A and B are shown apart, each in its own frame.
Chain A
Amino acid sequence: DIQMTQSPSAMSASVGDRVTITCRASQGISNSLAWFQQKPGKVPKRLIYSASSLQSGVPSRFSGSGSGTEFTLTISSLQPEDFATYYCLQHNSYPLSFGPGTKVDIK
């Protein structure tokens, strides 16, 4: 089974900061990775698919990169509505697996 790790597990940042979150897979998953944003009490929302493709309607300050085992989600200029928890999901092979999440809160 493929294990997903994320770093950092939590971070504090200010509005306007550039934020980078890393997701690593225990084995290669090509580009079969999605990024989700979850706010408290809400269902997750997909931001990025196929590692680097932006979901329609998602602001362009979000971007994804990577392939194989290492992936990053970058928020170029953090906005107040971006404070949330972010998860990666590998869907290259069963069982699917989410990363443990990265909580981004206000500094």
Chain B
Amino acid sequence: EVQLVESGGGLVQPGGSLRLSCAASGFTFSDHYMDWVRQAPGKGLEWVGRIKHKGNSYTTEYAASVKGRFSISRDDSKNSLYLQMNSLKNEDTAVYYCARVAIGWAGEYDPWGQGTLVTVSS
């Protein structure tokens, strides 16, 4: 079964840091681009960023709202994706989803993780 499981969410103070993890199973992780998408409570979806696979030099892309503060990495040997979040702001409070970018990407995520909640508050 193709599965993604996020972890690492929690309560953090403004200005703090947090590292999210996403454990992948049931597929060849190294073949896929991976994205992070977030959703603030009661709000819409926001694309956070992407990491490409080794064939594209593990290139990363970020939303303007997180660029310079967040960093996406992956460890293909551990089938794991990471989101390092620094200088956190109240507005970063959200459920963070990791998502596998489908081969032949045309907007399909297959699958999504269940999400992990990050709360930034003093």
Contacts and interface: CB of A to CB of B under 8 A. Distances in A.
B64 A46 contact: no
Interface in A63-93: 85, 87, 89, 91
Given A1-B64, A43-B112, A98 B107 contact: no
B61 interface: yes
B53 to A, nearest CB: 16
Contacts of A38: 45
B109 A46 contact: yes
Interface string B96-114: 0100000001111101101
A87 B44 contact: yes
A8 interface: no
Contacts, number: 59
Given A87-B45, A100-B44, A95 B62 contact: yes
B63 interface: yes
Contacts of B50: 94, 96
Nearest to B46: A98
Nearest to B105: A91
A85 B43 CA distance: 11
A49 B107 contact: yes
Interface in B66-120: 97, 105-109, 111-112, 114-115
Contacts of B63: 95-97
Interface of B: 35, 44-47, 49-50, 61-64, 97, 105-109, 111-112, 114-115
Top-4 shortest CB links A-B: A34-B107, A43-B112, A49-B106, A101-B44
